[in-house]
Chains A and B, each alone.
Chain A
Amino acid sequence: MAKELITGAEILMRSLVDRGVTTLFGYPGGAIMPVFDALYDYRDKLNHILVRHEQGAAHAAEGYARVSGKVGVCLVTSGPGATNTITGIADAMLDSTPIVVITGQVGASLLGTDAFQECDVVNITQPISKWAYQIRSAADVAWAVNRAFYIASSGRPGPVVLDFAKNAQTELAEYRPVKVDFIRSYVPVPATTRDSIEEAAALINAAERPLVLIGQGVELGNAQEEVRAFIEKADAPAGCTLLGLSALPSDHRLNVGMLGMHGSLAANTMTQKCDLLIAVGMRFDDRVTGNLATYARQAKKIHFDIDPAEVNKNVPVDVAVLGDCKNTLPAVTALLKQQDHKTWIDAFSPYAEKEDRIVIQPEINPVSGPIRMGEVARKVSEHTAHKAILVTDVGQNQILSARYFKFTESRSIVTSGGMGTMGFGLPAAIGATFGAPDRTVCLILGDGGLQMTIEEFGTIMEQGSPVKIVLLNNNYLGNVRQWQELFFNRRYSFTPMMNPDYEKIAEAYGIAHATVTEREQLDGAIDAMLATPGAYLLQVAVIPEGEVLPMCCPGSDVDDMLLEVKKED
């Protein structure tokens, strides 16, 4: 039979389809036109979502990947199209999100000549991606695409960049399906040693005051059941990182809340009192540990992780259990004797009660004064029976909704953790509606973050994406304002912000909308938002100078938490 020769662009289409891709987020341009031309014939198999800015494509792919566990795909042009995705690539790298970003590139003969819309994308993205590769010939396409998906999704996931030279898009080659499932220089899951399993089990069996730290690794490894069985047998209280919040149901009896800077007082205090700290799929970020020099010095430590480079990176540990926690957790659980740590678990209660009295109740059940961010987040969670996906932007809206949203299902929080990318929320929420079409997607964001990627209202309009947008409007860049209040003598340098009429903007895009200024309207307005099909913008006028509390201030010990801020009269 004669060889069938097709263009590199069409080989890309077939490779994506064969890899199981159904959804792409992208934006066309000169150097990727042959690919978009090929895509025209694959519209029935590949649903391309036209975003309004390439940064939105990258964040949408992240949102899609985070809720579905599948690889998110972006398709953009060279030069500015490619550089606009950089923030999303770096964000995906820090938060271990599997995306593949395909960027157009000038033809190979023009590389290095400063040609129109040429940009050295591979060199720019190498330090912020798991792998970056330039495709210079059509014969290379199938291999590169399959390698990209294998690298993005295996082991510790991350972003991969494929820079697709225009000549390779138009050249003809034969399509031979390849399945890359092995790279000799890349070990996605390190071997687990029997010794590490036994040593970990021995430490846990001997511990009197164990504390477990659950990270996003549990969600990425689909080990939610395994971690639950593990903590139940060890009878160990567990705190979750921001990205790990939905790995354990919020109301599980052993869940002691979020860790870190704005985490729960009990979890942070007990970090300094436990005799064994067990980290699972988390990386001891500075926002979790506070002052490293004093962090859990009294405790022995066990670190379950898939990435050997995370072990001893920030916190030296006694036992490292390398491997996939889906396998390592049950192996350790099997060696555990059923533990009973009632006295230790009860010791958390006074701190939880103190935080509830001083911080939580005033935030979620205030009797007077302006609406607070925390009460909005808790109400949205309640009105969705704690089953919605929470997408946040970055800042006070993020931390307060993370604190007061409750989670009953896994893969239910989409937020920019490591990078703290303002503008992440809106496009990520759009991506999440495609990644989890059967679930309610609630986006909680602030007025600053909304404006950073507000152009994606256009995508919502065109796609009818059912994003429930809760805009907490305080006319401030609230988190920076809080830091100025606490650490810069209330000098509010460029944090007050003039806002447009968001309802008019929503109206122009055909997005249903409402504004709430009074507490009594809140329940009804949230119900109306959830009952309205499609997208909805609910603007809530919240307290202008609210604080995220408690707070472990930068450089402080993790148990040194500020519970109240005295306001000047």
Chain B
Amino acid sequence: MEKTLYTLIIFSENLAGVLNQVTNVFTRRQLNIESLNVSASGVDNIHRYTITCWSDESTIQKVTKQIEKKIDVIQANYFTNEDIFIMESALFKVSTSKLVNDRGISKAIRLHDGKIVEVNATYAIVSQEGLPAEVSELYQKLQASGCLLQFVRSGAIAVTKSRREELNEYLELRRTQYEWQSQHVKF
């Protein structure tokens, strides 16, 4: 089946153990998580997860629903790269002697918006921010040139391109529903 890189954006309450429950859904379906980032969101006490994963749409749809079903998960949605603005950062530690002797290396770093943030006689550190594909390209070039000593990339982070802010709308809807329920439903 045709596989696409999907990005899941998930919001949860800030409670212990939610991350485990989210990743368990992937494990049960034998899906490899490509990258994962969890951090505070723009709303107090709500955490934001950005998870990328190669899958087909039918599977990612089921995974998304099973994640959203977890009690403390507020919202889960999946996106393709067209729907979101996505970004990654990376750090490359390269050999200074190779960097000096091979002009192709510094050219590649410039071409891919890498910044040399530290240099000494032994190594240089390059930082880069960009699309996941751009990070991969620079990595491949530096790897091929034989200068790479260490490489690390962050999980992708993404914001939606939609003009609607769905988390805010959802929280507002839930607040209205609660007020309605408190007035109309007797338990």
Residues A185 and B69 in contact, CB atoms below 8 Å apart = no
Check if B66 sits within 8 Å of A131, measured CB to CB. Answer: no
Which single residue of chain B is at the shortest CB-CB distance from A311? Answer: B65
Q: Is the CB of B171 within 8 A of A184?
A: yes
B74 within 8 A of A: yes
A509 in the interface (beta carbon within 8 A)? no
> Which residues of chain A have C-beta atoms less than 8 A from B129's C-beta?
none
The 8 A CB mask of B161-187 against A (1 = contact, 0 = none) is: 000000000010011001001100101
Whether A131 pairs with B62 at a CB distance below 8 angstroms is no
Q: Could you say which residues of chain B place their CB within 8 Å of the CB of A179?
A: 187
At the interface, yes or no: A127 with Cβ under 8 Å from chain B?
yes
Determine if A181 is an interface residue (Cβ-Cβ < 8 Å): yes
Residue of A nearest to B69 (CB): A309
C-alpha spacing A122/B72, complex, angstroms? 14
Please determine whether B71 and A126 come into contact, CB atoms closer than 8 angstroms.
Answer: no
> B20 contacts A184, CB within 8 Å?
no
**Chain A's nearest CB lies how many Å from the CB of B16?**
8
By secondary structure, the A interface counts as mixed
Give the residues in chain B near A185, CB-CB below 8 Å: 12-13, 71-74
A183 at the interface (CB under 8 A from B): yes
Chain B residue nearest to A136 in the complex (CB)? B16
A126:B21 contact, CB within 8 angstroms: yes
CA distance A186 to B175 in the complex (A): 12
Q: Taking A185-B13, A309-B66, A312-B61 as contacts, is the C-beta distance between A131 and B71 under 8 angstroms? A: yes
Bound-state CA distance A122–B47 (Å) is: 20
Given the known A-B contacts A126-B20, A182-B181, A183-B71, are A309 and B174 also in contact in the complex, defined by CB atoms under 8 Å? Answer: no
Tell me whether B17 and A184 are in contact (CB under 8 A): no
- Per the bound structure, the CA–CA distance linking A309 and B175 in Å amounts to 23
Residues 39 to 92 of chain B near chain A (Cβ within 8 Å):
58, 61-62, 65-66, 68-69, 71-74
Name the CB-closest residue of A to B66.
A309
Instruction: Decide if B32 is an interface residue (CB 8 Å cutoff).
Output: no
B24 within 8 A of A: yes
Interface size, chain B (Cβ < 8 Å)? 27
Complexed CA–CA distance, A151 and B71 (Å) = 8
Binary interface encoding of chain B residues 20-38 relative to chain A, with 1 for a CB under 8 A from any of its CBs, else 0: 1100100010000000000
Q: Report the interface size class on chain A.
A: 20 to 34
B17–A122 touching, CB < 8 Å = yes
CA distance A186 to B58 in the complex (A): 24
Distance in angstroms between the alpha carbons of A476 and B56 in the assembled complex: 45
B72 touches A309 (CB 8 A): no
Most B Cβ at <10 Å: residue of A179, A183, A311: A183
Residues of chain A within 8 A (CB-CB) of B72 are 131, 185-186
Chain A nearest CB: distance from B33 CB in Å?
Answer: 16
- Alpha-carbon separation in the docked complex, A386 to B24 (Å): 44
Cβ of A151: which chain B residues have Cβ within 8 Å of it? 71
- Measured in the bound complex, the distance between the Cα atoms of B71 and A186 in whole Å is 5
* Contact residue among B28, B62, B181 (Cβ-Cβ distance under 8 Å from A309): B62
Question: Whole-angstrom distance between the alpha carbons of A307 and B62 in the complex?
Answer: 12
Known: A123-B17, A179-B187, A307-B69. A184 touches B174 (CB 8 A): yes
Known: A126-B17, A127-B24, A309-B66. A184 touches B181 (CB 8 A): no
Give residues in B with beta carbon < 8 Å to A.
Answer: 12-13, 16-17, 20-21, 24, 28, 58, 61-62, 65-66, 68-69, 71-74, 171, 174-175, 178, 181-182, 185, 187
- Can you offer 26 A-B residue contacts whose CB atoms are under 8 A? A122-B17, A123-B17, A126-B20, A126-B21, A127-B24, A131-B71, A131-B72, A132-B17, A134-B16, A181-B185, A182-B178, A182-B182, A183-B71, A184-B175, A184-B178, A185-B72, A186-B71, A308-B68, A309-B65, A309-B66, A309-B68, A311-B65, A312-B58, A312-B61, A312-B62, A313-B62
**8 residue pairs, one from A and one from B, having the closest CB atoms:** A309-B65, A185-B74, A184-B174, A131-B71, A309-B69, A182-B178, A186-B71, A127-B24
Q: Chain A interface (Cβ within 8 Å of chain B)?
A: 122-123, 126-127, 130-132, 134, 151, 179, 181-186, 307-309, 311-313
